[in-house]
């Protein structure tokens, strides 16, 4: 199997391991039975033991942070980028030339339109030829393509919840080609915990600012909007998609809750949507379609790679309400990365990801 070491282990490097997604990757990969953690980079913390920064990893991760030059990433089998936008595309060409697979948790390889990327991320894309071959990392939708990929641009946290929440209503495999909903009038009311903003000092995420508070942000336009629209169009197989996406910051650390509103068409008014969703996700290990009438809570997925979905049709009318919860650092980021890595290396998709959610 390409990329597997002689001792049977996958040699993994992580670029940018001091943020929340970086430490979440370390937590998951340190428990993965087929992974050998070999390098983790940080220019500012080079030489510091990882367990000194993150005591939760004492006795589990013996690595020290190293500079990218010292990390010997070209000798890895796969490299995760848990970095700001722009870093992965600067190093992708060299890594791929050395047969190193890439999983990027940032946005460098998500948007296929380089003009859209420049518009939303404020920088030019420096390797459009690599972007052209990159696979979008949402395993439940792109499983077969991910298996063959050299480079995967992992889905964002909000986009994961919205796309998986809507996929059964749009996918021809589920709808039989019928337009069950008005795809031009979709509303996503999404909320995230403060860890979604990253591990950096910002006034908006200080305890005194975020605690006992609730607010919307980026209503004029959020950078995840074009990613979600791109994904929904790909799922539906057409471009008639119109989305209003409003994110909110909630006073919790982990979790995303997306409430999705769609309008049923005449063709969609006599459908059993509970059964539709259950059939669509019946073989998906990380998607739980809850019993009719359920109200999933973010704490029910905390620390796990699971996503829970509930479907409601208030008053039996023409509006369908879909409730979706996930842990933004696991299924919305690092867990999704490990899930895709498993696919890329021919391993069971659930390997290293069977942790039960933490409660309370």
Tens of pLDDT, residues 301-321:
999 999 999 999 999 999 999
Q: What is the pLDDT of residues 27-51, one digit of tens each?
A: 999 999 999 999 999 988 999 999 9
Kindly state whether residues 128 and 208 are assigned to the same domain: no
Q: Does residue 176 surpass a pLDDT of 70?
A: yes
Those residues whose C-beta lies under 8 Å from the C-beta of residue 111, and which sit 6 or more positions away, are: 117, 120, 226, 227, 230
Q: What is the pLDDT of residues 220-253, one digit of tens each?
A: 999 999 999 999 999 999 999 999 999 999 999 9
Q: What residue numbers bound the domain in which 187 lies?
A: 158-328
Kindly state whether residues 258 and 316 are assigned to the same domain: yes
The CATH code of the domain that includes 96 is: 3.40.50.720
Pick the last residue of a domain from 96, 118, 133.
Answer: 133
The CATH code of the domain that includes 200 is: 3.30.360.10
- The answer to whether 140 and 164 are in contact (CB under 8 A) is yes
* Strands of the chain, DSSP E: 10-15, 35-41, 78-81, 101-104, 135-137, 151-154, 186-192, 215-216, 243-249, 256-263, 287-289, 307-312, 319-326
3-state secondary structure (DSSP) of residue 5: coil
For position 257, what pLDDT does the model report? 98
Cα–Cα nearest to 64, from 45, 51, 53, 49: 49
Q: What is the pLDDT of residues 241-294, one digit of tens each?
A: 999 999 999 999 999 999 999 999 999 999 999 999 999 999 999 999 999 999
Q: Does residue 214 surpass a pLDDT of 80?
A: yes
241 is a domain residue? yes
Record the tokens describing residue 198, joined without a space. 């990253």
Kindly state whether residues 103 and 239 are assigned to the same domain: no
Domain count, the chain: 2
Kindly state whether residues 182 and 281 are assigned to the same domain: yes
For position 202, what pLDDT does the model report? 85
Kindly state whether residues 127 and 202 are assigned to the same domain: no
Record the tokens describing residue 269, joined without a space. 């008014």
For position 219, what pLDDT does the model report? 96
Kindly state whether residues 91 and 170 are assigned to the same domain: no
Residue range 78-95: mean pLDDT, rounded? 96
144 is a domain residue? no
359 is a domain residue? no
Kindly state whether residues 14 and 118 are assigned to the same domain: yes
* pLDDT tier, 141 (very low <50, low <70, confident <90, very high otherwise): very high
127 is catalytic: no
pTM of the prediction?
A: 0.95
Whether residue 325 is preceded by a cis peptide bond, meaning omega within 30 degrees of 0, is: no
* pLDDT tier, 204 (very low <50, low <70, confident <90, very high otherwise): confident
For position 88, what pLDDT does the model report? 96
104 is a domain residue? yes
3-state secondary structure (DSSP) of residue 283: coil
Q: Does residue 1 surpass a pLDDT of 60?
A: no
Kindly state whether residues 49 and 82 are assigned to the same domain: yes
Distance from C-alpha of 156 to C-alpha of 320, rounded to nearest angstrom: 24
Kindly state whether residues 231 and 194 are assigned to the same domain: yes
Kindly state whether residues 49 and 83 are assigned to the same domain: yes
Q: Does residue 2 surpass a pLDDT of 60?
A: no
Kindly state whether residues 171 and 318 are assigned to the same domain: yes
Cα–Cα nearest to 337, from 29, 30, 36: 29
315 is a domain residue? yes
Q: Does residue 198 surpass a pLDDT of 80?
A: yes
Kindly state whether residues 165 and 279 are assigned to the same domain: yes
25 is a domain residue? yes
* pLDDT tier, 7 (very low <50, low <70, confident <90, very high otherwise): low
196 is a domain residue? yes
348 is a domain residue? no
C-alpha distances in Å from residue 191, one per residue of 159, 289, 308? 12, 20, 15
What average pLDDT does the chain have? Answer: 95
Q: Does residue 74 surpass a pLDDT of 80?
A: yes
Residue range 190-201: mean pLDDT, rounded? 90
């Amino acid at each position: 199997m390409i990329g597997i070491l002689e001792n049977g282990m996958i040699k993994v490097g992580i670029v940018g391991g001091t943020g929340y997604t970086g430490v979440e990757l370390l937590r998951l990969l340190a428990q993965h039975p087929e992974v050998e953690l070999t390098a983790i980079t940080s220019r500012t913390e080079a030489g510091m033991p990882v367990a000194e920064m993150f005591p939760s990893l004492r006795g589990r991760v013996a690595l020290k942070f190293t500079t990218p030059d010292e990390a010997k990433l070209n000798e890895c089998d796969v490299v995760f980028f848990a970095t700001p936008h722009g870093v992965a595309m600067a190093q992708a060409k060299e890594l791929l030339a050395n047969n190193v697979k890439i999983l990027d948790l940032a946005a460098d390889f998500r948007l296929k339109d380089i003009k859209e990327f420049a518009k939303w991320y404020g920088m030019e894309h420096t390797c459009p030829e690599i972007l052209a071959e990159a696979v979008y990392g949402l395993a439940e939708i792109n499983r077969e393509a991910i298996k063959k990929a050299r480079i995967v641009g992992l889905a964002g946290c909000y986009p994961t919840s919205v796309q998986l929440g809507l996929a059964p209503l749009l996918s021809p495999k589920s709808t039989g080609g019928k337009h069950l909903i008005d795809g031009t009038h979709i509303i996503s009311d999404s909320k995230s915990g403060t860890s979604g903003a990253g591990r950096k000092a910002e006034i908006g995420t200080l305890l005194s600012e975020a605690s006992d508070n609730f607010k919307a942000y980026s209503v004029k336009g959020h950078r995840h909007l074009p990613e979600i629209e791109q994904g929904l169009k790909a799922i539906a197989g057409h471009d008639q998609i119109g989305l209003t996406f409003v994110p909110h910051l909630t006073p919790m650390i982990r979790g995303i809750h997306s409430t999705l509103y769609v309008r049923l068409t005449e063709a969609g008014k006599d459908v059993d949507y509970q059964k539709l969703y259950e059939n669509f996700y019946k073989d998906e290990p990380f998607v739980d379609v809850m019993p009719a009438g359920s109200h999933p809570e973010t704490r029910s997925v905390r620390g796990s790679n699971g996503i829970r979905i509930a479907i409601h049709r208030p008053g039996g009318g023409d509006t369908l309400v879909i409730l979706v919860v996930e842990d933004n650092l696991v299924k919305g980021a690092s867990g999704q990365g490990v899930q895709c890595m498993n696919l890329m290396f021919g391993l069971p998709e659930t390997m290293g990801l069977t942790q039960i959610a933490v409660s309370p």
